[in-house]
Amino acid sequence: MEASPRYAKRLSDAGASDVPRVDLTAISAVELQVTLGDMDLEDAFRVTLPPSYARTSLGELLDRAFSEDEAGQRHVRASFDLRENPDLPEMYEALVDVFSGWRGGRFSLRLFVNHGPEVGRSDAVGGHLRNDRPGAKGAAGVPLLDLIIEQRYTPLDYAVRRGFWPGKQQLLDWLRASTLLYFLDKHELELRAEPAAELDRRLLPAAEYLRDMGALRPSTPTGSFEITIEGRQVLADLIAETESYLDLYDIYRDARFRDRSGPVEFGTGHGEDLRVQVYEAEGLDPLRVVFLLLLYNGTLDSYESDWREAIQREEFYDETLAPVVDRPEVEGAMMDSIIESGLTYLAERDEESAAVARRRELLARARANQGPIP
């Protein structure tokens, strides 16, 4: 028995009909319609493309339609019907970013045909065109490719793919051990070396990881793990490391810019958060930095009641570390300019702070040497 399609979206005035086969030799154009997840069809991105797009694979069509090349984008933009939908340029830019992030490994995508199956990049476009239009507004006679995209952020895969970690298991081992150390320290939670509860037994690999590095040891009197002097030093080093990131990079939380020739402003309340891209541009592991910041600002405290179970799931870290990949992306030369402006800004701020400190010191000395007022 054939499974029901995952998506069966229809416009409110569309009726059901059979799906006649499309003759690829007879078409003059193909309409592409794209929605994200459960987005309503009324909000879909639609564009009419040349018939050559119908004779490619889905991967080739998507690479051509949402190319990162400016010339390729201009070719697609020329087909926009702005009278029908004046928002098409902004919608198109957002989709270009989605596919750019997919190619860059920041997240994974699943592709579905509306009223049809899940499809892959190698599928032939012609096999998924339809002449009936249950979910499209375009002209009759133009076959429709009605795609639905599911997007999932995968920061762990991204960190491994970018070479910051040798493998996902090593990364998960470090994340779980660091999370365990955090909760044992900040919340003074107890974990016995031979626990009775299943959830606690599942924490033993992380505890053994910390024991092997000298950060934990079983306490003879209590039978529970305790943080060692070396473990306290690990925590202190992590705090110092995190505060160095705050000192150097927190200004990029709010960076406002237009182009390379214009000024870059910081702290206006109207800029973009570019910290993660700056970390990576500076050669840092963005996942490590973001994770340490989450520990530092207490974000994980909201999981105090169920953290034992949560940290066993890879999805927990994909969700909490989503900012590693769910972020703005600025082209390289512009990013270099932003970073340079930030360094100048910090130097000027530090110089001003030093000057203020000197003035305060001189004022304090003057007041100390001042005699009583007659």
143 CA to centre of own chain:
35
pLDDT at 362: 61
**Could you read off the pLDDT tens digit of each residue along the chain, which spans 374 residues?**
446 778 887 764 444 444 456 767 778 889 999 999 999 999 999 999 999 999 999 999 999 999 999 999 999 999 999 998 999 999 999 999 999 989 888 888 999 999 889 999 999 999 899 876 555 555 557 899 999 999 999 999 999 999 999 999 999 999 999 999 999 999 888 899 999 899 999 999 999 999 999 999 998 888 899 999 999 999 999 999 999 999 999 999 999 998 766 789 999 999 999 999 999 999 999 999 999 999 999 999 998 888 999 999 999 999 999 999 998 888 888 999 999 999 999 998 888 777 767 766 765 665 555 544 44
pLDDT at 329: 86
Which ranges of 257-313 does DSSP label H, i.e. alpha helix?
275-281, 286-296, 307-310
- Give the H/E segment covering residue 229: helix 229-249
pLDDT at 139: 55
For the packed helices 229-249 and 168-186, what is the interaxial angle rounded to 10 degrees? Answer: 100
Half-sphere exposure of 200 (CA within 13 A, CB side): 12
Four-residue CA torsion sign, 82, 86, 89, 92? negative
pLDDT at 137: 57
Rounded Cα–Cα distance for residues 292 and 242 (Å): 6
- pTM (two decimals): 0.78
Tokens of 55: 């004779």
Residues 207, 191 contacting (CB under 8 angstroms): yes
Rounded Cα–Cα distance for residues 277 and 202 (Å): 35
